[in-house]
Amino acid sequence: MYATTNPATGELVKEFTTLTDDEARESLERSAAAYASWSCLDLEKRAEVLRQMAALHREQADALAALSTLEMGKPITQARGEMELAASIYDYYADRGPALLADEELEVAGTGRALVRTAPIGPLLGIMPWNFPFYQVARFVAPNLLLGNTILLKHAENCPQISLAIARIAEQAGAPDGVYQSVFATHDQVAEMIASPQLQGVSLTGSERAGRAVGALAGQHLKKCVLELGGSDPLIVLADANLDDAVTAAVNGRFWNAGQVCTSMKRTIVAEPVWDEFVTRFVDEVTTWQPGDPAQEETRLGPMSSERARADVAEVVQDAIAKGATVHVGGAVPDGSGAYYPATILSDVTPEMRAYHEEIFGPVAVLYQVKSADEAVDLANSSPYGLGGAVFTADATAAAQVADRLEAGMVGLNMLVRSSPELPFGGVKNSGIGRELGRFGLDEFANKKLVRIA
């Protein structure tokens, strides 16, 4: 069911009807028909549509941010920041994309010339999550609209008004009919779309379980897919680290957006000599993150996206507590309405606990003490995920060595890895397949066509 439910109050605000099977097929047919002309449109005209989408995100930032606060509980100041990030992605591809799509000349053995042309492949399906409902869409949509692909966008069921708002922005920006469509599709309709010869690729950002299902369907029907899945990112604090920087990064990196971030620093791994001081300072800072009304400017920690999401996190925490984990702060579902969960810190987490292996998608930090950098790396790599990570140390050589050994798609040295339009985003292991953003985002759903000239 597609519906707006305010996670701060639990109130069901509005319900939306899913597509009929005929409407789902018609949406794909419209996308295929639009592709014929959109892919042949002058590149600069496609770039201008993206430029207008960026401008509209900025002009409508307050209203769009309020939708994000309403539908998934994001604190309003964080929601406005997401509007600027999304706009910067559309601007990046509008401004830099045409140069990145220029033909690449190859050296040829013999006579003649050869070049590689980056061409579109056709209609694509995007399956997007609720945690960054504008930014996630932008990083999939912007490079592919510029390239000349057309888009069917199935957003999360709890973000229907956001999905419709983005579709209106695309229309207002000048995207022709059928180029960008918001589809309230069922799971069966998604499967039918992926199976259709008209669809050429699918991108999903979501859970590992959803990624396995979509990846299996895409493989069965020989469709290109990009899967950006979960993460249990480590933040390693070595003995010589600047603790001011490390504590600030660890707290912000874990509790921003109520911890509902795939690249959140879910595991903080601290060297033994600085363990006591780090934990004391970390706890002191985390206690200032008190749950509050996400519509208020001063709120940093809003509700989780739904009561179901909160229940999932609470189960993992209770499992850890029951098996001997230490709770430094938080750890209990509060009374009252809304999907609120307190900022929580656990330590003494062992492999017998779910919290050791699973991604905790909420405001819960897990702290580990280690005796050496080698032990820190081994612990970091013991996770089935490999999205991002960070290393804090005063020794640049040690930082680089640890970073090289981490099984992750992105690593920050004395800083968190933050998303930026020009930087590739993606992971390894169970964190997914493929890359988004930067020039890499233009290559995933592209035909790298060789042109040989006599």
- Where in the sequence numbering do the catalytic residues fall? 228, 262
Token readout for 141 is 């949509």
User: Distance between terminal CA atoms of the chain?
Assistant: 57
The dihedrals phi and psi of 177, each to the nearest 5 degrees, come to -55, 130
Q: How far apart are CA 257 and CA 290, in angstroms?
A: 13
Half-sphere exposure of 115 (CA within 13 A, CB side): 10
The secondary structure element, H or E, covering residue 244 is helix 243-255
Q: What does the alpha-carbon distance between residue 319 and residue 376 come to, in Å, rounded to a whole number?
A: 24
* Residues present in the chain in total: 454
Here the tokens at position 358 are: 């699973």
Looking only at the bridges linking them, the beta strands covering 224-228 and 432-433 are antiparallel
As a whole number of angstroms, the distance between CA 91 and CA 53 comes to 8
CB 356 within 8 A of CB 362: no
- Candidates 358, 313, 362; CA nearest to 209 is 358
Q: How many CB atoms lie within 10 A of CB 188?
A: 10
Alpha-carbon span 258 to 363, nearest angstrom: 5
| Integer Cα distance of 246 and 248 in angstroms | 6
